[in-house]
Amino acid sequence: MAYKYITTTLPYVNSDPHIGFGYEVLQADALARYWRLVGHEVFFNTGTDEHGQKIARKADEAGRERQEYVDYYADEFKKLGRGLNLSFDNFIRTTDASHKQSAQALWKQCEANGDIYKKKYSGLYCVGCESFKTESDLIDGKCPDHLNVPELVEEENYFFRLSKYQTYLEEYLSKEGVIVPEWRREEAIAFVRNGLEDFSISREKARLDWGIQVPGNEQQVMYVWFDALTNYISTLGWPDDANGNFQKFWNNGEVLQVAGKDQIRFQSVIWQAMLKSAGVKQTDCVVYHGFINSGGQKMSKSIGNVISPYELIAKYGTDATRYLLLRHVHPFEDTDITWERLDEWYTAHLVNGLGNLVARVMKMSEDNIESFVQIEEIRSIPGVKERIEKYEFNASIDCIWSYIADIDQRIQETQPFKKVKENKIQGQKQIVLLTQDLMRIAVALDPFMPETSKIILDAIKANKKPENLFSRLP
- Specify if 18 maps to a domain: yes
CA distance 437 to 412: 15
Give me the pLDDT at residue 302, please.
57
CB 326 within 8 A of CB 397: yes
Residue (of 95, 114, 91, 105) closest to 161 by Cα position: 114
CB 27 within 8 A of CB 335: no
Enclosing H/E stretch for 459: helix 450-462
Percent with pLDDT over 70 in the chain: 97
pLDDT in tens, 75-126: 999 999 999 999 999 999 999 999 999 999 999 999 999 999 999 887 787 8
User: Regarding predicted confidence, which is higher, 227 or 377?
Assistant: 227
Tell me, what CATH number does 354's domain have?
1.10.730.10
Give me the pLDDT at residue 82, please.
96
Co-location of 109 and 255 in the same domain: yes
Interval 428-438 mean pLDDT: 94
Co-location of 285 and 203 in the same domain: yes
- Specify if 161 maps to a domain: yes
Give me the pLDDT at residue 447, please.
98
Please report, for residues 223, 258, 358, 420, 440, the alpha-carbon distance to residue 325 in angstroms, rounded to integers and kept in the order given.
Answer: 33, 16, 22, 39, 22
3-state DSSP assignment of residue 51 = coil
Interval 320-341 mean pLDDT: 96
Co-location of 239 and 347 in the same domain: no
Co-location of 352 and 253 in the same domain: no
Q: Residue 129 pLDDT > 80, yes or no?
A: no
Percent with pLDDT over 90 in the chain: 81
Co-location of 242 and 349 in the same domain: no
The three-point CA angle 228-232-237 to 5° equals 110
pLDDT in tens, 26-35: 999 999 999 9
Give me the pLDDT at residue 264, please.
97
- Specify if 326 maps to a domain: no
Instruction: Based on DSSP, count helices (H) and strands (E) in the chain, helices before strands.
Output: 20, 16
Query: Which residue, 270, 289, 308, sits at the end of a domain?
Result: 289
CA distance 24 to 329: 11
Co-location of 174 and 278 in the same domain: yes
- Phi and psi dihedrals of 159, rounded to 5? -125, 150
- Specify if 148 maps to a domain: yes
Co-location of 360 and 273 in the same domain: no
Query: Which residue, 258, 289, 320, sits at the end of a domain?
Result: 289
CA distance 420 to 280: 64
Least confident of 45-59, 84-98, 225-239, 440-454: 45-59
Report how many domains make up the chain.
2
- Phi and psi dihedrals of 336, rounded to 5? -105, 125
Quick one: DSSP state of residue 435? H
pLDDT in tens, 153-206: 778 899 999 999 999 999 999 999 999 999 999 999 999 999 999 999 999 998
Residue (of 452, 430, 462) closest to 355 by Cα position: 452
Other C-beta atoms lying within 10 Å of the C-beta of residue 110: 23
3-state DSSP assignment of residue 119 = strand
- Specify if 308 maps to a domain: no
Give me the pLDDT at residue 14, please.
82
Co-location of 362 and 284 in the same domain: no
CA distance 170 to 188: 9
- Specify if 331 maps to a domain: no
Q: If 0-12 CB within 10 Å is exposed, 13-18 middle and 19+ buried, where does residue 293 land?
A: middle
CB 45 within 8 A of CB 293: no
CB 28 within 8 A of CB 6: yes
- Specify if 200 maps to a domain: yes
Widest pairwise Cα distance in the chain: 89
Q: Residue 62 pLDDT > 60, yes or no?
A: yes
Give me the pLDDT at residue 126, please.
81
Give me the pLDDT at residue 375, please.
65
Interval 400-406 mean pLDDT: 98
Co-location of 348 and 249 in the same domain: no
pLDDT in tens, 255-310: 999 999 999 999 999 999 999 999 999 999 999 999 999 877 777 655 667 788 99
Q: If 0-12 CB within 10 Å is exposed, 13-18 middle and 19+ buried, where does residue 138 land?
A: middle
Please report, for residues 19, 215, 239, 323, 331, the alpha-carbon distance to residue 26 in angstroms, rounded to integers and kept in the order given.
Answer: 10, 36, 29, 10, 11
Judge if the upstream peptide bond of residue 466 is cis by omega within 30 degrees of 0: no
Interval 45-64 mean pLDDT: 93
Give me the pLDDT at residue 176, please.
95
Co-location of 381 and 264 in the same domain: no
Tell me, what CATH number does 186's domain have?
3.40.50.620
Q: Residue 372 pLDDT > 70, yes or no?
A: no
Co-location of 231 and 353 in the same domain: no
- Range of 183's domain? 3-289
Interval 201-216 mean pLDDT: 92
User: Regarding predicted confidence, which is higher, 35 or 148?
Assistant: 35
The three-point CA angle 234-236-237 to 5° equals 65
- Phi and psi dihedrals of 248, rounded to 5? -70, -50
Ordered alpha helix ranges (H), 138-286: 166-173, 182-193, 224-229, 231-234, 245, 264, 271-278
User: Over the chain, what is the mean pLDDT?
Assistant: 93
Q: Residue 128 pLDDT > 80, yes or no?
A: no
CB 74 within 8 A of CB 50: yes
